[in-house]
Structure formats: C-alpha cells, structure tokens
A and B are shown apart, each in its own frame.
Chain A
Amino acid sequence: MFFFIKKSEDGLWLKCSACNEITYKKQLVANSYVCAKCGNYFRIGGKEYLNLLCDDGSFIEYFSDIKPTDPLNFYDVKKYSKKLKEAQKKTGTTDAFTCGLCTIDGVNACIGALNFAFMGGSMGSVVGEKITMLVEKAIKEKLPVVIVSASGGARMQEGILSLMQMAKTAGVLAKLAREKLPFISVLTNPTTGGVSASFAFLGDIIMSEPRALIGFAGPRVIEQTIRQKLPDGFQKAEFLLEKGQIDMIVERAELKSKVAEVFNILKGGKS
C-alpha cells in the first residue's frame, strides 16, 4: 500500500501511514522516502524524483514557461481554471510535469517527472507539449531520455486535446528511436490510462518501483465492467513483470544507479 506523506506541525517529522512510525524528514530523504521500519514507499512528487535521480546540483530546468490554459472553459463541480490555480498553489509548479537536463552518475541526460499531486499527474496540453519538447531537445543534443511517470491518465478537463497528447508524445518518441537514442520509462504508483497507453509504455527499457499500480484501465472500472472482484496483486508491478509487460522492478534507492547503468551500456546516438 501507498500513503501520502503526513506532515507534522513543524514539517520536520513525517509519519508513515502504514506503520505509524515517525521519522525525521532528513532521515526519510536519505532513505529515498522509504520507511526504514516497514519498507513503505511514501508517495513523492516529480521534484523529489528529480532529486533522487539527478546528480547534486546538475539539474537545469527547461520549458517551465509552458503554462496551462482552459481551452474548453471546462467545469464539473468546480471550474477547471480554479482547479488549476489550486493545484499550482499546492505544488508550486505550473503543471504536472517538470523536466530539464542533468547528469545521472555523470551521464548527461534529458529527464522529466510527472507529479501526482498536480491533478493526479494527468496529461493535458502542457504535459504533452513539455514531453515533446524534452524529447526534441534530446534529439538535438543527442542525449538519452528518462521519464518518471505517476499519473491517472489523460486530463479529462482538456477533453479531446488531452487525448491527442498521447499521439503527439508517441510520435516524437518514434523520432528519438530513429536517432537511436535510448528512452527509459520509470513507472511509479500509479501509472494508468492515457499515460500508460502512450509514452510510458514506449520505453526501450521499462522499470517500475515495487508494488506500483500499473495498467490501462483503473481497477474500479474493471471491477464494474466484469462485475467481480480482482485477484490480489492484480495490476501491481510484480504482476506486470510476471506477465512480461515490464523489464524490471527497481527499488527506489537503486533507481539512479540502474538508470545510469543502462545508459552506460546502451550509449546511444547514431554512429
């Protein structure tokens, strides 16, 4: 199971929702946001993943000027424009994807991460555009790409435009492949819907964190459709590995070294 980080009053102490253990924040960060007592993975944001993967001080953010609009004037129980503002305030970012250039154990790379805290990490026009620009940057600079996903899928509030981001990101990855530059896709809890059915499952190498929920349809939708309870462990990373859908499960603390190892062997670029 996964749980959100529960902040204490001063924000220095964090409580594990799985075992109630209270850990000093610095200690938790040093342990890659994994509870030292019970092994529970704290749910972390895109920026935390960038910190985990990039060499200290090497990350340079790109395309942060791409900001969301409300192309459909969408509303449900709330206006989309209002939801955007709330998410921006909550996360301190303009949308759900942060990306740029960095080194990973000394390897130059283009990197990006989705932030589940921003509207469920959903992919709308901004996420699709930034991923596309990041991959275009990689092609131009002849760099490998790594993207960390955490997403419920396409951003429904942008309607059909969010669906089209699936084709757009798949298209630019085809270009990256033609340049023989590697793409590592890291799946975290959860990766479903329009994100899993586009760039996230197009990695040359697909890694997942342990126990992450990964799939096309969400478990609730499947249960409603087939009218039966899903088996234990269904759609978990371990299940996907067994079914041949992902290359490997990597502990959060090992992600960085594993990504660098793969890049070091694949190298990449047209010779």
Chain B
Amino acid sequence: MSELSPEFEKPLLKIEKKIKGLEVNPIKNEKEITALREKLSKTRRKIFTNLSPFQRVQLARHPLRPLFSDYLAGMFTNFIELHGDRLFADDAAIIGGLAEFNGIRCAVIGQEKGKTTAEKLKRNFGMPQPEGYRKALRIMKLAEKFSLPLFTFIDTPGAYPGIGAEERGQARAIAVNLEEMMQLQIPVIAVVIGEGGSGGALALGVSNHMMMLANSVYSVISPEGCASILFRDASKAEEAAKVLKLTAQDLLKLGVIDEIVSEPMGGAHLNPPKQFEILSKSLAAALEAINKKRNYSEHRYKKFRQMGEFKT
C-alpha cells in the first residue's frame, strides 16, 4: 500500500498497519493477528464488491497498479524493443516491439506511464505524441508483413495536448491509426489495463477482441474534463464518472468490449503475478478464437460497424 492510495483503501491500510505492529511478536499475538487478517479480507471484500465508478477510476490510476512494462515482463518472453517512427523521434510514452507469448511469436505495443518521477517525465505520463502513434503503426505494419498477431495494452490519460503534438499532426496521426488498424490482416487483441483516455486510447484499440481489466476505465473524456466542461464544476468528477458509463461493466453492456478480465480481490496491484496469469489465459483464449476467423479485418470492421445507438 502507498501513501497515495485512494481514500476508500484507507481502512485496509489501517488494519494492515496494526497487523504489522503485532507481527513483532507473532507467537504471542497469534490469535489477534489471525482475527485481524480475517477482518482485513472481510473489509476488503466488502469494499471491492461495492465499488463506485469513480473508485474504479481511482483504481485504474492507482499508484501501485501494474503498468504495461510489468505486463511485458510478466507475460512475454524474448522481448525486442523497437524504437522510433523513422520520421521525427522515439516517443517513450509508447513501448513496442517483437516478443513471444506462450511461445507464440507476436508484436506487442502499449502506453507506459512510468513509475518514478524521472521515468514519468521521460514517458510523458503515458500521453503519446504523434510520433508515438506513428511508431506504433510502424510496428503494426511490421507485424502484418510477417504474419504476427498483435497485442496492444492501453493505459493513457489521453493523447498529449501540446504545441509540438499539434504542429506534427496529432489528429492525423490518430485518424490514420484508426484507418490502418481497421485493415490489418492479422489478429489484433487489445486490453485496457488502466486508463483508456479517449482518442489517444482508441488509436491502439481497434481490435478483433477488446478486453478490459475489471477495474480499468475507458471513456470519451476524463471525469474531471467532463465535470469542468459539461457540469461547469470541477468538483463534480465523481458524478461525471457515474453518468459517463466508463467502467468495464458498463462497456460490456454497451457492446463496446468483448470481455472483462477479472482482477485479484483488492485490485491488480495486490497480486500482480496472479493478474498476469489471469490475463495470459484470456489472451491465449482470445487468440485461439480469432485465429479461426477467415478475414481478420472484416471481422474487426463488422464489430465497429454496428456500434452506436439511434432510432429510425
């Protein structure tokens, strides 16, 4: 647990602290420790079975939540990182390359927020610039050329809103990724592991099988942005999170994602190895199912073609 943990985790932190104190003398305090452990797991269950949408937003951004680099290390082998868009720069907000997954050769791309302050700055908090999307596209096309399935990991507050990003065509970079991803003649599997921030997330998300971790979110705008623009009140982020319908559970109902990947009780950060194992199983099953499709790009397009609600 961390100092920066969200408010709703604080009761758990308190019990954990107590247990730690008693553990100085585990034999003498055995009974009390056992009781507290039970209380801890009970409290945790109670909190985590009644999460509000905004609490899920907080979990999606949790300071201890595993990042793409963790999944990369925990689920893939023989990773070869590829750098640069061949046009301008190498954007560290996106990591991509070649790897093996369960012995299957593949390409893997994802947004990386960074852990330490220095790394966060280097990776621009996971907010890609056009060169990041163009690097991603280059790796996608490489995967297609060599018939490798593609896995994408989404975890971004959004595409970076900056002067350079605009000058170098952020809008065009995202638009091209959408158009090109739609046409890839390889299986594409995407998973939101944390924050799916709008167009900046979608630019890696045009997939045959779209999944979300149970405590991740995916939205057209952040709850904070929605609160200040639509509610005209920055303090309304909690309510905005509710009305935006941005949880994995909401998106499954809306037909936008295909699968919710469960998280260990208490969230992915409580047991990352367990999370990698759960997600690995889902990725493997999804890949096996998509491999049976005859036309990957048409399958992908048909999924998106029917999205949206209107009346005639």
Contacts and interface: CB of A to CB of B under 8 A. Distances in A.
Interface of A: 65-69, 71-77, 124-126, 128-129, 132, 154, 156-168, 170-175, 177, 192-194, 196-202, 214-217, 221-222, 225-226, 230-231, 234-235, 243-245
25 contacts: A66-B310, A67-B310, A71-B309, A72-B245, A75-B243, A124-B308, A129-B310, A156-B221, A157-B230, A160-B250, A160-B256, A163-B219, A167-B307, A170-B178, A171-B301, A171-B304, A173-B179, A174-B182, A174-B183, A192-B171, A197-B159, A197-B171, A198-B178, A201-B171, A217-B159
Interface in B175-203: 175-176, 178-180, 182-183, 198-199, 202-203
A125 B165 contact: no
A197 B245 contact: no
Contacts of B254: 71, 159-161
Contact of B198 (A69, A167, A194, A201): A194
Given A75-B243, A171-B179, A164 B256 contact: yes
A226 B206 CA distance: 30
Nearest to A71: B309
A193 B220 CA distance: 10
Contact of B310 (A68, A168, A225): A68
Q: Which of B175, B244, B245 has the most CB of A within 10 A?
A: B175
A230 to B, nearest CB: 7
A165 B308 contact: yes
Contacts of A165: 307-308
A216 B171 contact: yes
B256 A202 contact: no
Interface of B: 159-163, 165-172, 174-176, 178-180, 182-183, 198-199, 202-203, 205-206, 218-221, 226, 229-232, 240, 243-246, 250-251, 254, 256, 300-301, 304-305, 307-312
A237 B39 CA distance: 62
A170 B161 contact: no
A1 to B, nearest CB: 20
Contact of B161 (A71, A73, A221, A243): A221
Contacts of B168: 243
Contacts of B231: 76-77
B245 A164 contact: no
Contacts of B171: 192, 196-197, 200-201, 214-216
Contact of A174 (B174, B179, B203): B179
Contact of B166 (A65, A76, A170, A234): A234
B174 to A, nearest CB: 4
Contacts of A230: 163
Closest 3 A-B residue pairs measured CB to CB? A217-B161, A125-B308, A170-B178
A173 B250 CA distance: 29
A163 B202 contact: yes
Contacts of B243: 72-76
Contacts of A245: 169, 172
A67 B220 CA distance: 21
Given A126-B310, A175-B301, A217-B165, 20 more contacts: A71-B309, A72-B245, A73-B243, A77-B232, A159-B254, A160-B219, A160-B246, A161-B308, A161-B309, A164-B304, A166-B202, A167-B202, A170-B179, A198-B175, A198-B178, A198-B199, A215-B166, A231-B163, A234-B163, A234-B166
Contacts of A216: 159, 161, 165-166, 170-171, 174, 199
A214 B203 CA distance: 19
Nearest to A231: B163
Contact of B182 (A77, A167, A193, A201): A167
A132 B305 contact: yes
Contact of A160 (B163, B172, B245, B305): B245
Contacts of B179: 170-171, 173-174, 177, 202
B202 A171 contact: no
Contacts of B206: 167, 170-171
Nearest to A185: B175
Contacts of B305: 132, 168, 171-172
A129 B32 CA distance: 62
B232 A66 contact: no
A159 B310 CA distance: 14
Contact of B162 (A75, A162, A192, A226): A226
Contacts of B226: 76, 156
A201 B175 contact: yes
A13 to B, nearest CB: 34
B187 to A, nearest CB: 17
Contacts of B229: 156
Given A164-B256, A216-B174, A69 B221 contact: no
A88 to B, nearest CB: 13
A73 B253 CA distance: 14
B147 to A, nearest CB: 20
Contact of B163 (A69, A166, A175, A226): A226
B310 A69 contact: yes
A234 B300 CA distance: 37
Contacts of A243: 167-169
